[in-house]
């Protein structure tokens, strides 16, 4: 009995507590992110933004959530019901499981696996299924067009994301996420030597999360709301939560790959007083602000322009940069030893 | 170990059941979804034997890219499901034959491995201890040294296949106006807009 407790139950409870310790703040962060986005967009457009529910409108997101929760979940009669319901769950689930390998500080990570970066890449490449399944199962023309668009778009931008990750990994010499941050501790953060890759990664992250200016799968002006058309109540809310959790995840990934994760900008006294998770949070917040800023500023891309940018500009350039990075590392004998 | 055993049987059972559903599902989109489930549980099995790199590559390449393209094509098919079932008996012998050949091959490989382990050990690279060398690095050690020519050849074959597909589908349609990005960017305001002073009552 004691063995059962010490080998199975106790570690199980600890892991469950760790998971809750990440998911609960994450969901709160998603709620706050919607508020943050609406407030920033309002400020940029000289409006007030949400200001009624709670002090400064802070509880607006929870009011929206409660409203969605009490609405009826409509299942279209001609929809493929099982897949129709699985799709939003899948989107939401995938946006949560990726956090298992994100380090918040030295050693503060649920699962410190050797292939962490590949795991993140694999999970983000699965994100397309939520949308494709939703679009197909709705059995309706706008969602279907949206599913086709998103399948092509997300696969295209994954390729350049892959090459960007390869350049970073060439400089790190390990696939472990914590090692990526540690490699930036001694030298400079990677966004300085790999600046063009940083920009490409961020733009690809916008495309990968279906955010403006690449939100073609849900372009409200042409596809009404794309794959979300037939969804209501909590099924819609899960898509919404998943999309915003993915935004936070991609910002976190950008922070880890290029902005030194939990590291302070300078390794001297006033900066080192602030704990690592707070630095990580600040970096994510700055990147999220850019996400919103882009949304408030840029018009939507046309679909052929999107494809051209992905395949004819980003792909050749990132391929060139992989070769260049590898060449420089070999020429100056900087290849990290494993 | 009990937990590992249970996980193995769970994943293995799901993988086999999903694989059976790939063949037997009536709707092709369901087939693709079950195929994805099979890939995914197989990746889980790879993780269990400590081949985490293979597991992740399986998910990235097959689930993340190949199956998306499958799905893309299958979703757009306009199929009559009854018609589709008619050919089932006709193709079944071929399918069974391929299945039997695969089974025999697998049994032969496994049989050699269990009956004469020394033969298997002679031809292969020794697998380094997981504690000393991560399997990502261990794979890199042999792929880019011993098997570099085979690896490059495989890449070349894929490249040729890709070029072949492009050549087959590329068609130049005369008279179609395409967007010329360089021309658009080279366009200046002076070339496009001309300000005219218009006298009242005269027009241009």
- Distance from C-alpha of A162 to C-alpha of B125, rounded to nearest angstrom: 29
Under DSSP, is residue B116 helix (H, G, I), strand (E, B) or coil? coil
- The residue among A9, A114, A144 with the most chain B CBs within 10 A of its CB, best to mutate, is A114
Nearest to B56 among A119, A151, A158 (CB): A119
Cα dihedral across residues B163, A159, A148, A93: positive or negative: positive
The C-alpha of B26 sits at a distance from chain A's nearest C-alpha, in angstroms, of: 13
The answer to whether B64 contacts A304, with C-beta atoms less than 8 Å apart, is: no
Cβ neighbours around A9 below 10 Å, total = 10
| Six-digit token string for A214 | 């690449």
Determine the residue of chain A that is closest to B74 in CA distance: A136
Would the CB atoms of A115 and B75 count as touching at under 8 Å? Answer: no
CA distance A79 to B29: 13
Contact state of A136 with B136 under an 8 Å Cβ cutoff: no
In chain B, what residues touch A122 (CB-CB under 8 Å)? 56, 59-60, 63-64
Chain B interface includes A163 (CB < 8 A): no
Six token digits for residue B34: 């079950």
What does the pLDDT look like over A272-311, one tens digit per residue?
787 888 888 899 999 999 999 998 888 888 888 888 888 8
What is the token pair recorded at B170?
A: 């590329």
Asked if residues A175 and A117 have their Cβ atoms less than 8 Å apart, the reply is yes
Highest mean pLDDT among A88-92, B81-85, B120-124, B192-196: A88-92
The reported pLDDT for the residue numbered A184 is 84
Q: Mind listing the pLDDT tens digit for each residue in B136-166?
A: 777 887 888 888 899 999 999 999 999 999 9
Report the residue of chain B nearest A125, measured CA to CA. Answer: B64
| Greatest extent of chain A over all pairs of C-alpha atoms, in Å | 65
Position B50 scores a pLDDT of 79
pLDDT at A4: 73
In angstroms, rounded to a whole number, what is the distance separating the alpha carbons of residues A18 and A15? 5
For residue A129, the chain B residues in CB contact (below 8 A) are: 36, 68, 71
Helix pair angle (A233-258, A81-97), 10° resolution: 30
Encoding tokens for residue A62?
Answer: 């929870």
Q: What are the structure tokens assigned to A335, written together? A: 């290849």
Quick check: bond before B43 cis, omega within 30?
no
Distances (CA, A) of B78 to A78, A80, B73, B88: 16, 16, 10, 18
The whole-number pLDDT of residue B191 equals 82
Residue B177 region by backbone torsions, left for phi larger than 0, else alpha for psi between -120 and 50, else beta: beta
pTM of the shown model: 0.84
Residues contacting residue A111 through CB under 8 Å, at least 6 positions apart:
A100, A101
pLDDT in tens, B12-51: 999 999 988 888 887 788 888 899 899 989 998 988 887 8
Q: Which of A4, A11, A122 to mutate to test the interface with B (most CBs of B within 10 A)?
A: A122
Structural contact between residues B32 and B67, judged by C-beta atoms closer than 8 angstroms? yes
Facing A8 at nearest CB: one of B3, B59, B76: B3
- Listing DSSP states for B148-159 in one string gives HHHHHHHHHHHH
DSSP 8-class letter at A222: H
């Amino acid at each position: 009995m004691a063995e059962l407790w010490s080998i199975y139950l106790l570690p199980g409870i600890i892991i469950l507590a760790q998971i809750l310790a990440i998911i609960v703040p994450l969901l709160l962060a998603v709620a706050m992110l919607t508020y943050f986005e609406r407030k920033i967009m309002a400020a940029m457009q000289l409006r007030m933004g949400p200001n009624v529910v709670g002090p400064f409108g802070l509880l607006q997101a929870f009011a929206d959530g409660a409203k969605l929760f009490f609405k009826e979940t409509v299942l279209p009669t001609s929809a493929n019901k099982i897949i129709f319901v699985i799709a939003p769950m899948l989107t939401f689930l995938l946006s949560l499981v990726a956090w298992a390998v994100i380090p918040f500080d030295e050693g503060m990570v649920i699962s410190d696996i050797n292939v962490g970066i590949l795991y993140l890449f694999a999970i983000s490449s699965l994100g397309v299924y939520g949308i494709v399944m939703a679009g197909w199962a709705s059995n309706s023309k706008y969602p279907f067009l949206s599913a086709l668009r998103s399948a092509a778009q997300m696969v295209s931008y994954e390729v350049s994301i892959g090459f960007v990750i390869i350049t970073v990994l060439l400089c790190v010499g390990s696939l472990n996420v914590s090692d990526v941050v540690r490699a930036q501790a001694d030298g400079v953060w990677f966004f300085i030597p790999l600046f063009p890759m940083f920009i490409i990664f961020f733009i690809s992250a916008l495309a990968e999360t279906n955010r403006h200016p690449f939100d073609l799968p849900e372009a409200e002006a042409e596809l009404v709301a794309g794959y979300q058309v037939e969804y209501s109540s909590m099924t819609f809310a899960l898509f919404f939560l998943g999309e915003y959790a993915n935004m936070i995840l991609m910002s976190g990934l950008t922070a880890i790959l290029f902005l030194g994760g939990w590291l302070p900008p300078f390794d001297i006294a006033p900066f080192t007083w602030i704990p690592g998770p707070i630095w990580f949070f600040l970096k994510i917040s700055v990147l999220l602000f850019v996400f919103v800023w882009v949304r408030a500023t840029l018009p939507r891309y046309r679909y052929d322009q999107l494809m051209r940018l992905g395949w004819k500009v980003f792909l050749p350039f990132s391929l060139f940069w992989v070769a260049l990075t590898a060449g420089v590392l070999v020429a100056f004998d900087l290849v990290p030893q494993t | 170990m009990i937990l590992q055993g249970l996980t193995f049987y769970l994943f293995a059972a799901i993988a086999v059941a999903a694989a059976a559903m790939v063949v037997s599902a009536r709707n092709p989109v369901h087939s693709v979804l079950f195929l994805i489930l099979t890939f995914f549980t197989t990746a889980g099995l790879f993780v269990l034997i400590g081949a985490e790199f293979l597991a992740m590559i399986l998910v990235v390449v097959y689930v993340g890219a190949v199956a998306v393209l499958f799905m893309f094509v299958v979703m757009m098919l306009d199929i009559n499901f009854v018609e589709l079932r008619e050919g089932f008996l006709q193709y079944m012998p071929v399918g069974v034959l391929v299945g039997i050949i695969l089974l025999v091959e697998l049994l032969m490989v496994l049989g050699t491995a269990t009956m004469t382990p020394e033969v298997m050990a002679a031809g292969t690279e020794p697998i380094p201890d997981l504690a000393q060398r991560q399997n990502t690095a261990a794979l890199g050690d042999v792929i880019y040294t011993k098997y570099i020519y085979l690896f490059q050849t495989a890449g070349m074959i894929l490249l040729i296949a890709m070029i072949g597909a492009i050549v087959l589908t590329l068609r130049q349609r005369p008279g179609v106006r395409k967007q010329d990005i360089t021309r658009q960017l080279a366009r200046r305001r002076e070339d496009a807009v001309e300000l005219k002073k218009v006298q009242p009552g005269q027009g241009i």
